[in-house]
């Protein structure tokens, strides 16, 4: 495995055609494009890393995986009354289908669905308490207390969040937002601004590996872990989800910080990061690296 990761870092990780950083969140726009890291936690407990795997980055929408687990833990399957489970075929921040579907977003991984998910785990607590609960979940999953929210990133996003506010207010007009939109959006922006490195993220992803004995804490029932992976496969890369399934064949969740969390069911939890994005807003080199890793290991669920 170490040879494979080092080879990927030396080839794909050095590709000069690196995509572009997300421009709309001030602190992400200026991240050095010239970075690449990858980490793998195998189901037998062995861990491997290569490149900038210890460099922290903004996990952004990867947080939606932890948020949906937390919200499901709180309200169970009633979450699906407020958010669907279908791919949208549209950009992560699209508002288009919301009108047709009366304020019920297509899935918990597009922004509208994630805002409803946040609204759900926020209910009954203050934003500070809710974020404390989310951080506890992520730290427990990673087995690492040194995971924090980057408040400068959160503040910057909050100031440029007009479109996300529009989604929140639109859903509120349909009764699908129960908390003060200012609180829900503040919590959402802070949730997206969690900093992690590839090693921490790959470790945190082990909670989805299906309750393998001795491998990280059992934070969700294995049926729920299986369903979250299904959502990652079908919706985890927005309108690029089909392309990711075609190229990699594994459930994954991307974020505009350039990270991707990928699960090889029953086999491994993988985190890859390179800040340059492709046209769908998913990490360009991260996707290419995952394609190479899936080829080298034959881990595709379709193999």
Binding site members for substrate: 61, 111, 157, 164, 188, 238, 256
| Candidate residues 49, 94, 111, 278; the one interacting with ligand GLN per rule CB under 6 A | 111
What is d(CA 81, CA 164) in angstroms, rounded to the nearest whole number? 21
DSSP per-residue string spanning 221-277: -HHHHHHHHHHHHHHTTGGGHHHHHHHT-S-EEE-TTSEEEEEETTTEEEEEE-S-B
25-64 mask for ligand GLN (x: CB under 6 A)?
-----------------------------------xx---
58-87 mask for ligand GLN (x: CB under 6 A)?
--xx--------------------------
Sign of CA dihedral 198, 202, 203, 204: positive
Catalytic annotation present for 303: no
Phi (first) and psi of residue 130, to 5 degrees: -65, -45
Catalytic annotation present for 65: no
Catalytic, out of 88, 188, 248, 253 = 188
Candidates 82, 78, 63, 72; CA nearest to 134 is 63
Which residues, 6 or more positions from 243, have their beta carbon under 8 angstroms from its beta carbon? 237, 280
Under rule CB under 6 A, residue 291 binds ligand GLN: no
Under rule CB under 6 A, residue 195 binds ligand GLN: no
Catalytic annotation present for 300: no
Nearer to ligand GLN, 77 or 162 (CB): 162
Which residues bind to ligand GLN, rule: CB under 6 A?
60-61, 92-93, 111, 157, 164, 192, 255-256, 281
């Amino acid at each position: 495995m170490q040879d494979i990761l080092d080879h990927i870092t030396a080839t794909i990780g050095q590709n000069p055609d690196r995509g572009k950083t997300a421009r709309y969140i001030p602190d992400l726009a200026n991240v050095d494009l010239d970075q690449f890291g990858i980490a793998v936690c195998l189901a037998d407990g062995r861990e491997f890393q290569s490149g900038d795997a210890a460099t922290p980055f903004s996990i952004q929408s990867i947080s939606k995986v932890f948020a949906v687990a937390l919200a499901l833990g709180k309200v169970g399957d009633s979450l699906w009354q407020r958010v669907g489970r279908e791919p949208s075929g549209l950009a992560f921040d699209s508002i288009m289908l919301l009108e047709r579907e009366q304020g019920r977003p297509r899935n918990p991984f597009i922004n509208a669905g994630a805002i409803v998910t946040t609204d759900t785990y926020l209910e009954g607590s203050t934003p500070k308490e809710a974020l404390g609960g989310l951080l506890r979940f992520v730290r427990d999953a990673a087995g690492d207390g040194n995971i924090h929210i980057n408040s400068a990133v959160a503040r910057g996003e909050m100031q440029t969040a007009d479109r996300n506010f529009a989604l929140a207010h639109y859903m509120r007009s349909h009764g699908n937002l129960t908390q003060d939109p200012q609180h829900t959006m503040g919590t959402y922006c802070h949730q997206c601004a969690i900093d992690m490195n590839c090693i921490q993220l790959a470790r945190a992803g082990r909670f989805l590996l299906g309750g393998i004995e001795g491998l990280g804490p059992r934070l969700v029932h294995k049926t729920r872990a299986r369903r979250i992976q299904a959502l990652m496969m079908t919706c985890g890369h927005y309108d690029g989800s089909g392309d990711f399934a075609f190229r990699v064949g594994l459930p994954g969740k991307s974020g505009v910080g350039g990270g991707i969390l990928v699960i090889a069911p029953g086999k491994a939890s993988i985190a890859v990061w390179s800040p340059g994005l492709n046209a769908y807003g998913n990490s360009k080199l991260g996707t290419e690296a995952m394609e190479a890793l899936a080829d080298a290991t034959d881990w595709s669920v379709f193999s």
